Amino acid sequence: MTADRLSSDLVMRVRILIVVFAVVSAAIFAFAALASAEDVSLTCPVDGTAVTGHVVNEFHSSGVDTDFAYLGASADYYQRIIATCGTCGYSGYVEDFAPATATLPDAVKKDILRKFASRFPVSAMKPWDRYEAMALAYTWRGKPADEIANAYLRATYTMRNVKKGDALKKRERELRGEAIEHLRIAIREAKISLAQLPQATYLIGELHRRNEEYDRAVASFQDAERLIHRPEWLDKLIEKQSEKAREKRSD
């Protein structure tokens, strides 16, 4: 994918949020509702298991969080748009399954069968397991870093409002760390367009802040402030989140 192709999931989502954020960021109550979603019959490209997926035709949310997660969407939207094979744990969007476009090289299938079984409870995957499984499959498939970053990011979105013990908190930090790492690769490899660079750089800062890495958060917010093409809403967000990170740093 080249930098001027804005079709990646991450970039599209960020484009949508420019409008959404400006309009509804003041909303007090988060809500999200699916106006329409259809079941679709899919086939696992690894082992041929029948899988049910969903095509979401329309989606409403009251706004986005500071890490660009749609508000109120963790238990519904983010779990509907991903499909998972109950036999091997292969996960992806509808287009990652047959009869859409999915064809997997034998080496990738082998990796999935060998590594997923030891890493995940494949017959009872948690939503964040499913997104991590997708991120791993994307990595082995050689998909662009921005799409891998978005899969890890969405893994953390599904952990909202979930009661977390130490192990799950650690997992959340690791998944966020992977999102950061792949966002950095995506920027380095010019998978993020120049117009989206300020948002992506801000996002790295915000993910560091959420991971309690305050020096890195402040540094990324400063990087974002130096970039051109910053929308006004982003400047406000950078200022607010940067202030929070600085306060924590001086604690």
Binding residues among 49-68 for Zn ion as defined by CB under 5 A: 49
- Residue 247 tokens read as 């306060």
Q: Which is nearer to Zn ion, 10 or 125 (CB)?
A: 125
- Out of 5, 27, 47, 99, which residue is the one contacting Zn ion (CB under 5 A)? 47
Q: Give me the phi and psi of 103, to 5 degrees please.
A: -135, 130
Using CB under 5 A as the binding rule, whether residue 94 contacts Zn ion is answered as no
Largest CA distance in the chain: 55
d(C-alpha 75, C-alpha 80), whole Å? 9
* In the complex, minimum distance from the CB of residue 49 to Zn ion, in angstroms, rounded to a whole number: 5
Q: Which is nearer to Zn ion, 93 or 202 (CB)?
A: 93
Using CB under 5 A as the binding rule, whether residue 90 contacts Zn ion is answered as yes
* In the complex, minimum distance from the CB of residue 126 to Zn ion, in angstroms, rounded to a whole number: 17
Q: Which is nearer to Zn ion, 86 or 231 (CB)?
A: 86
* In the complex, minimum distance from the CB of residue 25 to Zn ion, in angstroms, rounded to a whole number: 40
d(C-alpha 109, C-alpha 103), whole Å? 10
70: β partners: 64
- Out of 46, 64, 82, 136, which residue is the one contacting Zn ion (CB under 5 A)? 46
Using CB under 5 A as the binding rule, whether residue 43 contacts Zn ion is answered as no
- Out of 10, 14, 42, 44, which residue is the one contacting Zn ion (CB under 5 A)? 44
CB-based contact 79:96 (threshold 8 Å)? no
DSSP SS3 for 168: helix
**Structure-token match 């109120």, residue found:** 72
Strands of 90-207, DSSP E: 91-92
User: Using CB under 5 A as the criterion, which residues of the chain lie in contact with Zn ion when the complex forms?
Assistant: 44, 46-47, 49, 85, 87-88, 90
